[in-house]
Structure 1
Amino acid sequence: MKFSDLSPLFARRQASGFSYTYAQFSADPELAPLQWPDDVVEQFLFDHGAHFLADYSDLELCNVTWQLEPIPAGDFCTMPTGESDAGCVEHFAENPVHWVKVRPPQIGRYWAEHGTWLRAPLLLDRSLLDPPDSGLQVLEGRTRVGVLRGRLREQLHVAPEHQAWVGRPCRSAAA
């Protein structure tokens, strides 16, 4: 199943506005083959699915498996995002204090106490892209990664590693 195959599902979600809950969305039979963690489905497909069509329409969703992984802080410094969001992470990095302040207070407290984000962003192994490449790409969490980059630049408290959901090729797809 290609990401673009979910376009009708995204259209239904957008047409219904806020009345279409995550529970309704995630119970849709079209999503059953994915067997992805709820946090990934919610962030990638429910919250922003239609936004990502430009960059990921050909992504074979059933070939992606997700795992929560620790990623060194420095790895995020040059990690790209999709073409349609070029410059977005850098924009958030310009003023990390502002982007934390405009979020709920618990996010700021978590950064101050732990030097990381409260919710793990989504990263994608670039070998899954067309054309394939090496390394990881920021899929969702552009603000979080921008705040991290800005905090590193401004020498604010940053943990050495950060949890992220990483989408990698399924073993059967990679073999």
Structure 2
Amino acid sequence: MQLSDLSPLMARRQDGGLSFAHFRADPALVSLQWPDDVLEQFLFDHGDNAAFVHDYGGIDLLQVTWRLETIPASDFVGMPTGATDAGCIENYAADPVYWVNVRPPEVGRHWEDHGTWLRPPLLIDQRLLDPADSGLQVLEGRTRVGVLRGRLREQLRVAPHHQAWVGRL
């Protein structure tokens, strides 16, 4: 199953204002057995986004297993994102205070209190895109990772480790 196979579901989501509860209950998604947070951030929020389809449309979604993992802050410093969004993480990193301040207040409080994001981003093993590659790539959460990089650069509070959903073969 690839993103293009979910086009009818994505069209229903757009046309009828399909809620996430109804979206996740769709028979097309039952076989994925992904955590709700991953389903929502990846497929519900971005499953028909042209950039996502371009970058991740070749992935066999049934082959991906998601786990919440703890990742060192330093691993996020050079972590890439999809080719169509190259450079966007650096744009967010340029002004991390701004990107936190335009979010709900609890986001900023969480950064100040815990030195991390409120909601774990999605990362994928690059071997899902090219078996010859290695390492992790930011799938969703480019703003969050940009804020982390910017906070590190500006020597603002950053926890040494961060939770992220990681998709692997």
Whether the TM-score (by the shorter chain) exceeds 0.5 is yes
Mapped to 2, the partners of 1:158 and 1:74 lie a distance apart of 10
Residue 117 of structure 2 is matched in structure 1 by 117
Aligned to 1:44: 42
Shift in Å at residue 125 of structure 1?
0.3
123-132 or 71-80, which deviates more:
123-132
- Which secondary structure does the structure 2 equivalent of 1:155 belong to? coil
> What is the alpha-carbon distance in structure 2 between the residues aligned to residue 100 and residue 73 of structure 1?
18
Deviation of 1:131 after TM superposition, in Å, equals 5.9
TM-score, length basis structure 1: 0.93
Sequence identity (%): 69
Q: Give the Cα–Cα distance (whole angstroms) in 2 for the partners of residues 83 and 7 of structure 1.
A: 22
Letter in 1 for 2:44: F
After superposition, the C-alpha distances for 1:46-86 in whole angstroms (9 at most, x for unaligned) are 01111211111110001000000000001000000001111
For 2:64, give the aligned amino acid: V
Alignment partners' CA distance in 1, 2:24 and 2:139: 19
Cα distance in structure 1, aligned partners of 2:48 and 2:76? 25
Output the CA distance in 2 between the equivalents of 1:87 and 1:131.
Answer: 24
Q: Which residue of 2 aligns with 1:22?
A: 20
Q: Tell me, in whole angstroms, the C-alpha distance in 2 between the residues paired with 1:88 and 1:137.
A: 13
Aligned to 1:172: none
Residue 11 of structure 1: how far off its partner (Å): 2.0
The 10-residue stretch of structure 1 (123-132 or 148-157) with the greater mean CA deviation from structure 2:
123-132
| Corresponding residue SS for 1:50 | coil
Contact 1:58 1:130 in 2 (8 A): no
5+ residue gaps in structure 2? Answer: none
Q: Give me the whole-angstrom Cα distance separating, in 2, the residues matched to 1:115 and 1:56.
A: 30
Q: Are 1:4 and 2:4 an aligned pair?
A: yes
Distance in 2 separating the partners of 1:95 and 1:66: 30
Residue 8 of structure 1: how far off its partner (Å): 2.0
Match of 1:62 in 2: 62
The CA distance in 1 between the partners of 2:4 and 2:133, in whole Å, is 21
The 2-side partners of 1:11 and 1:154 are apart by: 42
> Which residue identity does 1:94 align to in structure 2?
A
* 1:139 CA displacement: 0.3
Question: What amino acid maps onto 1:92 in structure 2?
Answer: Y
Aligned twin of 1:135: 135
